[in-house]
Structure 1
Protein backbone atom coordinates (compact mmCIF):
# COMPACT_ATOMS: atom_id res chain seq x y z
CA UNK A 1 0.00 0.00 0.00
CA UNK A 2 2.87 2.38 0.79
CA UNK A 3 4.39 1.73 -2.62
CA UNK A 4 1.07 2.43 -4.35
CA UNK A 5 0.61 5.67 -2.38
CA UNK A 6 4.15 6.76 -3.30
CA UNK A 7 3.53 6.05 -6.98
CA UNK A 8 0.26 7.98 -6.94
CA UNK A 9 1.92 10.89 -5.16
CA UNK A 10 4.73 10.93 -7.71
CA UNK A 11 2.23 10.79 -10.56
CA UNK A 12 0.30 13.78 -9.17
CA UNK A 13 3.47 15.79 -8.71
CA UNK A 14 4.59 15.00 -12.26
CA UNK A 15 1.24 16.09 -13.65
CA UNK A 16 1.33 19.31 -11.64
CA UNK A 17 4.89 20.08 -12.77
CA UNK A 18 3.93 19.42 -16.39
CA UNK A 19 0.84 21.66 -16.17
CA UNK A 20 2.83 24.45 -14.51
CA UNK A 21 5.60 24.26 -17.11
CA UNK A 22 3.12 24.11 -19.97
CA UNK A 23 1.16 27.10 -18.66
CA UNK A 24 4.34 29.08 -18.14
CA UNK A 25 5.53 28.45 -21.71
CA UNK A 26 2.05 29.19 -23.05
CA UNK A 27 1.96 32.52 -21.22
CA UNK A 28 5.42 33.42 -22.50
CA UNK A 29 4.48 32.58 -26.09
CA UNK A 30 1.28 34.59 -25.81
CA UNK A 31 3.15 37.54 -24.32
CA UNK A 32 5.73 37.50 -27.13
CA UNK A 33 3.01 37.32 -29.77
CA UNK A 34 1.06 40.13 -28.14
CA UNK A 35 4.16 42.33 -27.97
CA UNK A 36 4.90 41.75 -31.67
CA UNK A 37 1.35 42.74 -32.59
CA UNK A 38 1.48 45.87 -30.45
CA UNK A 39 4.84 46.83 -31.90
CA UNK A 40 3.47 46.36 -35.42
CA UNK A 41 0.64 48.75 -34.54
CA UNK A 42 3.11 51.13 -32.95
CA UNK A 43 1.78 50.68 -29.42
CA UNK A 44 3.88 50.14 -26.30
CA UNK A 45 4.66 46.56 -25.40
CA UNK A 46 3.03 45.14 -22.32
CA UNK A 47 5.02 45.17 -19.11
CA UNK A 48 5.03 43.24 -15.88
CA UNK A 49 1.63 43.43 -14.24
CA UNK A 50 -0.48 43.24 -17.41
CA UNK A 51 -2.81 40.30 -17.78
CA UNK A 52 -0.94 37.31 -19.18
CA UNK A 53 2.52 38.77 -18.65
CA UNK A 54 3.71 36.90 -15.58
CA UNK A 55 6.16 34.09 -15.91
CA UNK A 56 4.49 31.80 -13.36
CA UNK A 57 0.91 30.64 -12.79
CA UNK A 58 1.04 31.69 -9.14
CA UNK A 59 1.21 35.35 -10.13
CA UNK A 60 -2.34 35.12 -11.55
CA UNK A 61 -3.67 34.23 -8.12
CA UNK A 62 -2.51 37.41 -6.31
CA UNK A 63 -5.19 38.70 -3.95
CA UNK A 64 -6.84 42.02 -4.84
CA UNK A 65 -5.34 44.00 -1.97
CA UNK A 66 -3.77 47.43 -1.86
CA UNK A 67 0.01 47.67 -1.68
CA UNK A 68 1.28 50.57 0.40
CA UNK A 69 -0.58 53.74 -0.54
CA UNK A 70 -1.56 52.42 -3.96
CA UNK A 71 -5.35 52.29 -4.48
CA UNK A 72 -7.01 48.93 -5.11
CA UNK A 73 -6.89 47.81 -8.80
CA UNK A 74 -4.67 50.77 -9.69
CA UNK A 75 -2.75 48.58 -12.15
CA UNK A 76 -5.79 48.33 -14.40
CA UNK A 77 -6.27 52.09 -14.26
CA UNK A 78 -2.66 52.64 -15.25
CA UNK A 79 -3.06 50.24 -18.16
CA UNK A 80 -6.19 52.05 -19.36
CA UNK A 81 -4.45 55.39 -19.06
CA UNK A 82 -1.41 54.11 -20.92
CA UNK A 83 -3.56 52.65 -23.72
CA UNK A 84 -5.49 55.92 -24.12
CA UNK A 85 -2.32 57.99 -24.18
CA UNK A 86 -0.72 55.63 -26.70
CA UNK A 87 -3.77 55.81 -28.97
CA UNK A 88 -3.75 59.61 -28.87
CA UNK A 89 -0.05 59.84 -29.61
CA UNK A 90 0.27 57.06 -32.18
CA UNK A 91 -0.29 58.13 -35.82
CA UNK A 92 -0.30 54.51 -37.04
CA UNK A 93 -3.24 53.64 -34.81
CA UNK A 94 -5.04 56.82 -35.84
CA UNK A 95 -4.68 55.95 -39.53
CA UNK A 96 -6.23 52.52 -38.97
CA UNK A 97 -8.95 53.99 -36.75
CA UNK A 98 -9.81 56.54 -39.44
CA UNK A 99 -10.14 53.76 -42.00
CA UNK A 100 -12.39 51.70 -39.73
CA UNK A 101 -14.51 54.80 -39.15
CA UNK A 102 -14.98 55.25 -42.90
CA UNK A 103 -16.05 51.62 -43.24
CA UNK A 104 -18.56 51.94 -40.38
CA UNK A 105 -19.97 55.17 -41.78
CA UNK A 106 -20.41 53.59 -45.23
CA UNK A 107 -22.17 50.58 -43.72
CA UNK A 108 -24.50 52.79 -41.68
CA UNK A 109 -25.33 54.77 -44.82
CA UNK A 110 -25.85 51.58 -46.88
CA UNK A 111 -23.11 52.67 -49.28
CA UNK A 112 -20.58 50.36 -50.88
CA UNK A 113 -16.96 50.97 -49.90
CA UNK A 114 -13.91 49.12 -51.28
CA UNK A 115 -12.58 47.97 -47.91
CA UNK A 116 -9.40 46.30 -49.17
CA UNK A 117 -8.53 49.22 -51.43
CA UNK A 118 -9.04 51.55 -48.47
CA UNK A 119 -6.71 49.64 -46.14
CA UNK A 120 -4.18 49.16 -48.93
CA UNK A 121 -3.97 52.96 -49.11
CA UNK A 122 -3.75 53.20 -45.31
CA UNK A 123 -0.86 50.76 -45.08
CA UNK A 124 0.84 52.36 -48.10
CA UNK A 125 0.83 55.71 -46.30
CA UNK A 126 2.42 54.05 -43.27
CA UNK A 127 4.89 51.89 -45.18
CA UNK A 128 8.46 52.34 -44.04
CA UNK A 129 9.90 48.83 -43.84
CA UNK A 130 9.64 45.49 -45.58
CA UNK A 131 6.92 44.22 -43.24
CA UNK A 132 4.67 47.20 -43.95
CA UNK A 133 5.19 46.78 -47.69
CA UNK A 134 4.22 43.10 -47.39
CA UNK A 135 1.01 44.09 -45.59
CA UNK A 136 0.21 46.57 -48.37
CA UNK A 137 0.88 43.86 -50.97
CA UNK A 138 -1.41 41.47 -49.04
CA UNK A 139 -4.32 43.92 -49.20
CA UNK A 140 -3.72 44.36 -52.94
CA UNK A 141 -3.64 40.58 -53.38
CA UNK A 142 -7.00 40.17 -51.61
CA UNK A 143 -8.55 42.98 -53.65
CA UNK A 144 -7.36 41.36 -56.88
CA UNK A 145 -8.47 37.84 -55.95
CA UNK A 146 -11.94 39.00 -54.90
CA UNK A 147 -12.13 41.47 -57.81
CA UNK A 148 -12.95 44.40 -55.56
CA UNK A 149 -14.15 46.84 -58.18
CA UNK A 150 -13.47 50.42 -57.09
CA UNK A 151 -16.19 52.86 -58.28
CA UNK A 152 -14.95 55.55 -60.68
CA UNK A 153 -16.15 57.58 -63.66
CA UNK A 154 -16.62 54.39 -65.72
CA UNK A 155 -17.63 51.91 -63.04
CA UNK A 156 -20.72 52.90 -61.05
CA UNK A 157 -21.20 52.18 -57.36
CA UNK A 158 -23.84 49.54 -58.17
CA UNK A 159 -21.18 47.46 -59.94
CA UNK A 160 -18.74 47.51 -57.03
CA UNK A 161 -18.23 44.59 -54.68
CA UNK A 162 -21.00 44.69 -52.06
CA UNK A 163 -20.99 43.74 -48.41
CA UNK A 164 -21.14 39.95 -47.85
CA UNK A 165 -21.52 39.36 -51.60
CA UNK A 166 -20.16 35.80 -51.38
CA UNK A 167 -21.68 34.85 -48.02
CA UNK A 168 -24.81 33.07 -49.27
CA UNK A 169 -23.13 30.61 -51.70
CA UNK A 170 -20.27 30.11 -49.24
CA UNK A 171 -22.39 29.42 -46.14
CA UNK A 172 -25.62 27.92 -47.42
CA UNK A 173 -24.85 26.20 -50.73
CA UNK A 174 -23.54 22.68 -51.12
CA UNK A 175 -19.98 22.25 -52.38
CA UNK A 176 -20.98 21.21 -55.91
CA UNK A 177 -23.93 23.57 -56.31
CA UNK A 178 -23.74 26.01 -59.25
CA UNK A 179 -23.47 28.99 -56.87
CA UNK A 180 -20.52 27.47 -54.97
CA UNK A 181 -18.75 26.46 -58.18
CA UNK A 182 -19.22 29.97 -59.55
CA UNK A 183 -17.71 31.54 -56.40
CA UNK A 184 -14.70 29.20 -56.48
CA UNK A 185 -14.13 29.93 -60.16
CA UNK A 186 -14.34 33.64 -59.37
CA UNK A 187 -11.59 33.25 -56.75
CA UNK A 188 -9.48 31.12 -59.10
CA UNK A 189 -9.68 33.73 -61.87
CA UNK A 190 -8.75 36.45 -59.41
CA UNK A 191 -5.79 34.47 -58.06
CA UNK A 192 -4.56 33.77 -61.59
CA UNK A 193 -4.93 37.44 -62.48
CA UNK A 194 -2.86 38.43 -59.44
CA UNK A 195 -0.07 35.98 -60.32
CA UNK A 196 -0.06 37.25 -63.91
CA UNK A 197 0.26 40.84 -62.69
CA UNK A 198 3.10 39.85 -60.40
CA UNK A 199 4.95 38.19 -63.28
CA UNK A 200 4.53 41.23 -65.55
CA UNK A 201 5.93 43.44 -62.80
CA UNK A 202 8.86 41.04 -62.39
CA UNK A 203 9.55 41.14 -66.14
CA UNK A 204 9.49 44.96 -66.08
CA UNK A 205 11.92 45.04 -63.14
CA UNK A 206 14.24 42.62 -64.94
CA UNK A 207 14.23 44.72 -68.11
CA UNK A 208 14.92 47.86 -66.11
CA UNK A 209 17.75 46.17 -64.24
CA UNK A 210 19.43 44.68 -67.33
CA UNK A 211 18.59 46.99 -70.27
CA UNK A 212 21.69 46.10 -72.32
CA UNK A 213 21.15 42.36 -72.10
CA UNK A 214 17.44 42.76 -72.87
CA UNK A 215 18.17 44.87 -76.00
CA UNK A 216 14.59 45.95 -76.70
CA UNK A 217 14.61 49.78 -76.67
CA UNK A 218 11.77 52.21 -77.31
CA UNK A 219 8.27 51.48 -76.01
CA UNK A 220 8.13 47.71 -76.38
CA UNK A 221 5.08 45.58 -76.98
CA UNK A 222 4.39 42.56 -74.79
CA UNK A 223 6.19 40.31 -77.29
CA UNK A 224 9.24 42.56 -77.24
CA UNK A 225 9.22 42.51 -73.44
CA UNK A 226 9.11 38.73 -73.36
CA UNK A 227 11.87 38.51 -75.94
CA UNK A 228 14.02 40.89 -73.86
CA UNK A 229 13.27 38.90 -70.72
CA UNK A 230 14.32 35.71 -72.51
CA UNK A 231 17.53 37.38 -73.66
CA UNK A 232 18.41 38.09 -70.04
CA UNK A 233 17.60 34.55 -68.94
CA UNK A 234 19.35 32.83 -71.84
CA UNK A 235 22.54 34.81 -71.24
CA UNK A 236 22.72 33.15 -67.83
CA UNK A 237 22.42 29.59 -69.12
CA UNK A 238 25.41 27.39 -69.76
CA UNK A 239 25.85 25.84 -73.25
CA UNK A 240 24.48 22.48 -72.14
CA UNK A 241 21.22 24.05 -70.98
CA UNK A 242 20.89 26.15 -74.13
CA UNK A 243 21.35 23.04 -76.26
CA UNK A 244 18.14 21.58 -74.79
CA UNK A 245 16.01 24.48 -76.06
CA UNK A 246 14.23 24.40 -79.43
CA UNK A 247 15.46 27.59 -81.08
CA UNK A 248 14.34 28.88 -84.47
CA UNK A 249 15.58 32.12 -86.05
CA UNK A 250 17.31 32.98 -82.80
CA UNK A 251 14.13 32.63 -80.72
CA UNK A 252 13.23 30.05 -78.08
CA UNK A 253 9.66 29.88 -79.32
CA UNK A 254 8.21 27.40 -76.86
CA UNK A 255 9.67 29.39 -73.95
CA UNK A 256 8.36 32.62 -75.48
CA UNK A 257 4.87 31.13 -75.80
CA UNK A 258 4.97 29.88 -72.21
CA UNK A 259 5.89 33.29 -70.80
CA UNK A 260 3.09 34.92 -72.78
CA UNK A 261 0.68 32.57 -71.03
CA UNK A 262 2.42 33.27 -67.72
CA UNK A 263 1.73 36.97 -68.24
CA UNK A 264 -1.93 36.29 -69.02
CA UNK A 265 -1.60 37.36 -72.68
CA UNK A 266 -3.43 34.40 -74.22
CA UNK A 267 -4.57 36.33 -77.30
CA UNK A 268 -1.02 37.51 -77.96
CA UNK A 269 0.13 33.92 -77.48
CA UNK A 270 -2.24 32.73 -80.20
CA UNK A 271 -1.10 35.53 -82.54
CA UNK A 272 2.54 34.65 -81.89
CA UNK A 273 1.90 30.97 -82.60
CA UNK A 274 0.08 31.78 -85.83
CA UNK A 275 2.96 34.02 -86.95
CA UNK A 276 5.34 31.07 -86.50
CA UNK A 277 2.92 28.40 -87.72
CA UNK A 278 5.51 26.34 -89.65
CA UNK A 279 7.65 25.88 -86.55
CA UNK A 280 4.79 24.79 -84.30
CA UNK A 281 3.23 22.59 -87.00
CA UNK A 282 6.57 20.85 -87.41
CA UNK A 283 6.96 20.35 -83.64
CA UNK A 284 3.35 19.30 -82.97
CA UNK A 285 0.88 19.36 -85.85
CA UNK A 286 -2.27 19.51 -83.70
CA UNK A 287 -0.99 22.13 -81.26
CA UNK A 288 -2.46 25.18 -83.01
CA UNK A 289 -5.87 23.50 -83.14
CA UNK A 290 -5.84 22.95 -79.39
CA UNK A 291 -4.48 26.44 -78.71
CA UNK A 292 -7.10 28.22 -80.81
CA UNK A 293 -9.93 26.25 -79.18
CA UNK A 294 -8.52 27.07 -75.73
CA UNK A 295 -8.25 30.81 -76.44
CA UNK A 296 -11.69 31.02 -78.06
CA UNK A 297 -13.37 29.28 -75.10
CA UNK A 298 -14.91 31.66 -72.56
CA UNK A 299 -13.73 29.64 -69.57
CA UNK A 300 -10.57 28.37 -71.35
CA UNK A 301 -11.67 24.76 -71.56
CA UNK A 302 -11.26 22.41 -74.49
CA UNK A 303 -14.40 20.68 -75.79
CA UNK A 304 -14.66 17.00 -74.96
CA UNK A 305 -13.60 15.72 -78.38
CA UNK A 306 -10.45 17.88 -78.49
CA UNK A 307 -9.63 17.01 -74.90
CA UNK A 308 -9.76 13.31 -75.72
CA UNK A 309 -7.55 13.87 -78.78
CA UNK A 310 -5.07 15.85 -76.68
CA UNK A 311 -4.87 13.06 -74.09
CA UNK A 312 -4.30 10.50 -76.84
CA UNK A 313 -1.56 12.64 -78.44
CA UNK A 314 0.12 13.14 -75.09
CA UNK A 315 0.02 9.44 -74.20
CA UNK A 316 1.43 8.53 -77.60
CA UNK A 317 4.19 11.11 -77.25
CA UNK A 318 5.03 9.92 -73.74
CA UNK A 319 5.09 6.30 -74.90
CA UNK A 320 7.41 7.07 -77.83
CA UNK A 321 9.70 9.13 -75.62
CA UNK A 322 9.89 6.32 -73.08
CA UNK A 323 10.75 3.78 -75.77
Structure 2
Protein backbone atom coordinates (compact mmCIF):
# COMPACT_ATOMS: atom_id res chain seq x y z
CA UNK A 1 0.00 0.00 0.00
CA UNK A 2 1.45 3.43 -0.92
CA UNK A 3 2.82 5.39 2.03
CA UNK A 4 0.55 8.35 1.35
CA UNK A 5 -2.54 6.12 1.47
CA UNK A 6 -1.42 4.59 4.77
CA UNK A 7 -0.99 8.07 6.26
CA UNK A 8 -4.49 8.99 5.16
CA UNK A 9 -5.89 5.83 6.77
CA UNK A 10 -4.06 6.54 10.03
CA UNK A 11 -5.30 10.13 10.02
CA UNK A 12 -8.85 8.92 9.35
CA UNK A 13 -8.63 6.41 12.22
CA UNK A 14 -7.32 9.08 14.63
CA UNK A 15 -10.16 11.38 13.59
CA UNK A 16 -12.71 8.60 14.14
CA UNK A 17 -11.31 7.85 17.60
CA UNK A 18 -11.38 11.54 18.53
CA UNK A 19 -14.98 11.77 17.35
CA UNK A 20 -15.90 8.74 19.51
CA UNK A 21 -14.27 10.32 22.57
CA UNK A 22 -16.00 13.62 21.92
CA UNK A 23 -19.36 11.88 21.50
CA UNK A 24 -18.91 9.98 24.77
CA UNK A 25 -18.19 13.22 26.63
CA UNK A 26 -21.05 15.00 24.90
CA UNK A 27 -23.39 12.14 25.79
CA UNK A 28 -22.21 12.41 29.38
CA UNK A 29 -22.95 16.14 29.28
CA UNK A 30 -26.24 15.86 27.42
CA UNK A 31 -29.40 17.09 29.06
CA UNK A 32 -32.11 14.69 29.95
CA UNK A 33 -34.51 16.81 27.94
CA UNK A 34 -34.65 13.92 25.51
CA UNK A 35 -35.67 11.71 28.44
CA UNK A 36 -38.68 13.30 30.14
CA UNK A 37 -38.78 10.63 32.85
CA UNK A 38 -35.42 11.84 34.13
CA UNK A 39 -35.52 15.50 33.08
CA UNK A 40 -32.15 16.28 34.65
CA UNK A 41 -30.89 19.83 33.98
CA UNK A 42 -28.51 20.31 31.07
CA UNK A 43 -24.79 20.22 31.60
CA UNK A 44 -22.30 22.44 29.80
CA UNK A 45 -24.84 24.27 27.63
CA UNK A 46 -25.60 27.96 27.32
CA UNK A 47 -29.00 29.45 28.00
CA UNK A 48 -31.68 28.79 30.59
CA UNK A 49 -31.24 25.02 31.29
CA UNK A 50 -29.32 24.40 34.50
CA UNK A 51 -26.15 22.39 34.62
CA UNK A 52 -26.10 19.91 37.47
CA UNK A 53 -23.43 22.10 39.10
CA UNK A 54 -25.65 25.11 38.43
CA UNK A 55 -28.58 23.43 40.14
CA UNK A 56 -26.48 22.45 43.13
CA UNK A 57 -24.85 25.89 43.08
CA UNK A 58 -28.26 27.52 43.24
CA UNK A 59 -29.06 25.54 46.37
CA UNK A 60 -25.59 26.16 47.78
CA UNK A 61 -25.65 29.92 47.25
CA UNK A 62 -29.20 30.14 48.61
CA UNK A 63 -27.94 28.53 51.79
CA UNK A 64 -24.54 30.23 52.06
CA UNK A 65 -24.62 33.40 49.96
CA UNK A 66 -23.39 34.00 46.42
CA UNK A 67 -20.21 32.21 45.49
CA UNK A 68 -17.30 33.92 43.78
CA UNK A 69 -16.71 33.03 40.16
CA UNK A 70 -20.01 31.23 39.65
CA UNK A 71 -21.36 32.04 36.18
CA UNK A 72 -24.17 29.52 36.57
CA UNK A 73 -26.01 31.34 39.35
CA UNK A 74 -27.84 33.99 37.23
CA UNK A 75 -29.09 31.29 34.86
CA UNK A 76 -30.11 29.16 37.83
CA UNK A 77 -32.19 31.96 39.31
CA UNK A 78 -34.01 32.59 36.00
CA UNK A 79 -34.79 28.91 35.50
CA UNK A 80 -36.11 28.45 39.03
CA UNK A 81 -38.84 31.04 38.53
CA UNK A 82 -40.14 29.27 35.41
CA UNK A 83 -40.52 25.72 36.70
CA UNK A 84 -42.07 25.17 40.15
CA UNK A 85 -41.15 21.47 40.14
CA UNK A 86 -37.51 22.29 39.43
CA UNK A 87 -37.65 24.87 42.22
CA UNK A 88 -38.75 22.13 44.61
CA UNK A 89 -35.83 19.98 43.42
CA UNK A 90 -33.38 22.80 44.16
CA UNK A 91 -34.95 23.47 47.56
CA UNK A 92 -34.75 19.78 48.41
CA UNK A 93 -31.07 19.69 47.41
CA UNK A 94 -30.49 22.65 49.75
CA UNK A 95 -32.39 20.89 52.55
CA UNK A 96 -30.42 17.66 52.05
CA UNK A 97 -27.10 19.56 51.97
CA UNK A 98 -27.94 21.08 55.34
CA UNK A 99 -28.83 17.66 56.74
CA UNK A 100 -25.57 16.24 55.40
CA UNK A 101 -23.52 19.04 56.93
CA UNK A 102 -25.23 18.63 60.29
CA UNK A 103 -24.83 14.83 60.08
CA UNK A 104 -28.56 14.52 60.77
CA UNK A 105 -30.80 11.65 59.63
CA UNK A 106 -33.40 12.29 56.93
CA UNK A 107 -36.92 10.92 56.65
CA UNK A 108 -39.55 11.12 53.96
CA UNK A 109 -41.79 13.01 56.40
CA UNK A 110 -39.03 15.63 56.89
CA UNK A 111 -38.69 16.15 53.15
CA UNK A 112 -42.43 16.31 52.45
CA UNK A 113 -43.35 18.53 55.39
CA UNK A 114 -40.36 20.90 55.13
CA UNK A 115 -39.91 21.20 51.36
CA UNK A 116 -42.26 19.33 49.04
CA UNK A 117 -45.53 20.30 50.81
CA UNK A 118 -48.30 20.84 48.22
CA UNK A 119 -46.29 18.88 45.62
CA UNK A 120 -46.36 15.66 47.67
CA UNK A 121 -47.89 13.78 44.72
CA UNK A 122 -44.68 14.56 42.81
CA UNK A 123 -42.41 13.47 45.67
CA UNK A 124 -40.89 10.40 43.90
CA UNK A 125 -39.86 12.50 40.89
CA UNK A 126 -38.58 15.38 43.02
CA UNK A 127 -36.57 13.01 45.23
CA UNK A 128 -35.16 11.19 42.19
CA UNK A 129 -33.92 14.40 40.62
CA UNK A 130 -32.56 15.83 43.86
CA UNK A 131 -30.76 12.55 44.62
CA UNK A 132 -29.20 12.57 41.14
CA UNK A 133 -27.94 16.14 41.67
CA UNK A 134 -26.40 15.20 45.02
CA UNK A 135 -24.64 12.25 43.42
CA UNK A 136 -23.37 14.12 40.39
CA UNK A 137 -22.31 17.35 42.08
CA UNK A 138 -20.99 15.96 45.36
CA UNK A 139 -20.56 12.20 44.86
CA UNK A 140 -23.04 11.50 47.68
CA UNK A 141 -25.70 8.79 47.43
CA UNK A 142 -28.98 9.13 49.30
CA UNK A 143 -30.05 5.61 50.27
CA UNK A 144 -33.23 4.47 51.98
CA UNK A 145 -31.99 2.43 54.94
CA UNK A 146 -35.35 1.84 56.67
CA UNK A 147 -38.20 1.19 54.21
CA UNK A 148 -40.77 1.00 57.03
CA UNK A 149 -40.06 4.39 58.59
CA UNK A 150 -38.66 5.74 55.27
CA UNK A 151 -35.34 6.82 56.77
CA UNK A 152 -32.46 7.80 54.48
CA UNK A 153 -28.68 7.91 54.92
CA UNK A 154 -25.90 9.71 53.02
CA UNK A 155 -23.15 7.52 51.55
CA UNK A 156 -20.01 8.97 49.94
CA UNK A 157 -19.06 7.34 46.64
CA UNK A 158 -15.39 7.51 47.70
CA UNK A 159 -13.98 7.13 51.20
CA UNK A 160 -13.19 10.69 52.30
CA UNK A 161 -14.05 9.79 55.89
CA UNK A 162 -10.38 9.40 56.77
CA UNK A 163 -9.67 12.89 55.41
CA UNK A 164 -12.12 15.11 57.24
CA UNK A 165 -9.86 18.10 56.60
CA UNK A 166 -10.31 17.66 52.86
CA UNK A 167 -13.96 18.63 52.84
CA UNK A 168 -15.11 21.94 51.39
CA UNK A 169 -15.12 24.81 53.82
CA UNK A 170 -18.84 24.23 54.31
CA UNK A 171 -18.40 20.46 54.65
CA UNK A 172 -19.67 19.35 51.24
CA UNK A 173 -17.33 16.77 49.68
CA UNK A 174 -15.61 17.27 46.34
CA UNK A 175 -16.22 13.67 45.33
CA UNK A 176 -18.40 14.48 42.30
CA UNK A 177 -15.70 16.81 40.95
CA UNK A 178 -13.05 14.12 41.41
CA UNK A 179 -15.23 11.42 39.83
CA UNK A 180 -15.72 13.56 36.73
CA UNK A 181 -11.96 14.04 36.37
CA UNK A 182 -11.31 10.31 36.87
CA UNK A 183 -13.95 9.54 34.24
CA UNK A 184 -12.38 11.93 31.73
CA UNK A 185 -8.98 10.28 32.32
CA UNK A 186 -10.52 6.86 31.64
CA UNK A 187 -12.10 8.05 28.39
CA UNK A 188 -8.74 9.45 27.28
CA UNK A 189 -7.00 6.07 27.32
CA UNK A 190 -6.27 6.33 31.06
CA UNK A 191 -4.06 9.40 30.67
CA UNK A 192 -5.46 12.89 30.05
CA UNK A 193 -3.57 16.08 29.40
CA UNK A 194 -4.27 19.14 31.54
CA UNK A 195 -5.79 20.78 28.46
CA UNK A 196 -8.23 17.89 27.94
CA UNK A 197 -9.32 17.89 31.57
CA UNK A 198 -9.89 21.64 31.72
CA UNK A 199 -11.72 21.61 28.40
CA UNK A 200 -14.37 19.38 29.98
CA UNK A 201 -14.39 21.23 33.31
CA UNK A 202 -14.79 24.58 31.51
CA UNK A 203 -17.93 23.24 29.82
CA UNK A 204 -19.21 22.55 33.36
CA UNK A 205 -18.52 26.12 34.46
CA UNK A 206 -15.40 25.16 36.44
CA UNK A 207 -12.29 27.23 35.65
CA UNK A 208 -8.68 26.99 36.79
CA UNK A 209 -8.40 30.69 37.62
CA UNK A 210 -11.76 31.15 39.37
CA UNK A 211 -12.96 30.13 42.81
CA UNK A 212 -16.01 27.89 42.49
CA UNK A 213 -18.86 28.19 45.00
CA UNK A 214 -19.05 24.40 45.37
CA UNK A 215 -15.55 23.14 44.62
CA UNK A 216 -13.47 25.96 46.08
CA UNK A 217 -10.14 26.29 44.24
CA UNK A 218 -10.38 23.71 41.42
CA UNK A 219 -6.76 24.00 40.24
CA UNK A 220 -5.41 23.50 43.76
CA UNK A 221 -7.74 20.53 44.25
CA UNK A 222 -6.53 18.88 41.04
CA UNK A 223 -2.80 19.55 41.23
CA UNK A 224 -2.30 19.42 45.01
CA UNK A 225 -5.14 18.06 47.16
CA UNK A 226 -6.15 15.05 45.04
CA UNK A 227 -2.47 14.31 44.36
CA UNK A 228 -1.57 14.37 48.06
CA UNK A 229 -4.48 12.03 48.76
CA UNK A 230 -3.18 9.75 45.99
CA UNK A 231 -6.37 9.91 43.93
CA UNK A 232 -4.52 11.54 41.04
CA UNK A 233 -1.03 11.53 39.56
CA UNK A 234 0.06 14.81 38.02
CA UNK A 235 3.23 14.54 35.98
CA UNK A 236 5.14 16.36 33.27
CA UNK A 237 4.78 15.01 29.76
CA UNK A 238 8.08 13.42 28.75
CA UNK A 239 10.36 15.66 26.70
CA UNK A 240 7.83 18.50 26.62
CA UNK A 241 9.36 21.94 26.15
CA UNK A 242 7.80 24.17 27.35
CA UNK A 243 6.63 21.78 30.05
CA UNK A 244 3.17 20.26 29.65
CA UNK A 245 1.38 18.13 32.24
CA UNK A 246 -1.02 15.20 32.32
CA UNK A 247 -3.23 13.36 34.81
CA UNK A 248 -3.51 9.66 35.62
CA UNK A 249 -5.40 7.70 38.25
CA UNK A 250 -3.51 7.48 41.52
CA UNK A 251 -3.20 4.29 43.61
CA UNK A 252 -6.10 5.26 45.85
CA UNK A 253 -8.38 5.80 42.84
CA UNK A 254 -7.49 2.30 41.63
CA UNK A 255 -8.35 0.94 45.08
CA UNK A 256 -11.63 2.83 45.69
CA UNK A 257 -12.91 3.51 42.17
CA UNK A 258 -13.31 1.32 39.08
CA UNK A 259 -13.71 1.89 35.37
CA UNK A 260 -17.23 0.50 35.64
CA UNK A 261 -18.06 3.06 38.35
CA UNK A 262 -16.75 5.76 36.01
CA UNK A 263 -19.12 4.58 33.28
CA UNK A 264 -22.00 4.35 35.74
CA UNK A 265 -21.29 7.95 36.75
CA UNK A 266 -21.26 9.14 33.12
CA UNK A 267 -24.36 7.08 32.33
CA UNK A 268 -26.21 8.74 35.21
CA UNK A 269 -25.41 12.16 33.75
CA UNK A 270 -26.61 11.19 30.27
CA UNK A 271 -29.59 9.08 31.45
CA UNK A 272 -28.05 6.15 29.63
CA UNK A 273 -26.45 2.82 30.57
CA UNK A 274 -22.75 1.88 30.90
CA UNK A 275 -23.11 -0.62 28.05
CA UNK A 276 -24.00 2.24 25.69
CA UNK A 277 -20.50 3.71 26.18
CA UNK A 278 -18.58 1.34 23.96
CA UNK A 279 -15.65 0.50 23.66
CA UNK A 280 -14.96 1.67 27.22
CA UNK A 281 -17.62 -0.74 28.50
CA UNK A 282 -15.63 -3.72 27.21
CA UNK A 283 -12.50 -2.41 28.94
CA UNK A 284 -14.45 -1.92 32.18
CA UNK A 285 -15.81 -5.46 31.96
CA UNK A 286 -12.28 -6.84 31.55
CA UNK A 287 -11.18 -4.95 34.66
CA UNK A 288 -14.18 -6.28 36.62
CA UNK A 289 -13.24 -9.83 35.61
CA UNK A 290 -9.60 -9.28 36.61
CA UNK A 291 -10.66 -7.89 39.99
CA UNK A 292 -12.96 -10.87 40.56
CA UNK A 293 -10.19 -13.34 39.71
CA UNK A 294 -7.77 -11.50 42.02
CA UNK A 295 -10.27 -11.67 44.89
CA UNK A 296 -10.88 -15.38 44.29
CA UNK A 297 -7.14 -16.05 44.20
CA UNK A 298 -6.65 -14.13 47.45
CA UNK A 299 -9.42 -16.11 49.16
CA UNK A 300 -7.95 -19.41 47.93
CA UNK A 301 -4.52 -18.39 49.20
CA UNK A 302 -5.98 -17.41 52.56
CA UNK A 303 -7.78 -20.75 52.88
CA UNK A 304 -4.60 -22.62 51.94
CA UNK A 305 -2.61 -20.80 54.62
CA UNK A 306 -5.29 -21.56 57.19
CA UNK A 307 -5.25 -25.25 56.25
CA UNK A 308 -1.45 -25.41 56.55
CA UNK A 309 -1.36 -23.68 59.93
CA UNK A 310 -0.54 -26.09 62.80
CA UNK A 311 -3.43 -27.00 65.05
CA UNK A 312 -3.36 -25.33 68.47
CA UNK A 313 -1.76 -27.54 71.10
CA UNK A 314 -3.91 -28.83 73.89
CA UNK A 315 -2.91 -27.83 77.37
* TM-score of the two chains, using structure 2 as the length reference: 0.27
Structure number having the greater strand percentage: 2
Higher RCO structure (Cα 8 Å, ≥6 apart): 2
Structure number having the greater helix percentage: 1
* TM-score of the two chains, using structure 1 as the length reference: 0.27
Larger Rg: 1
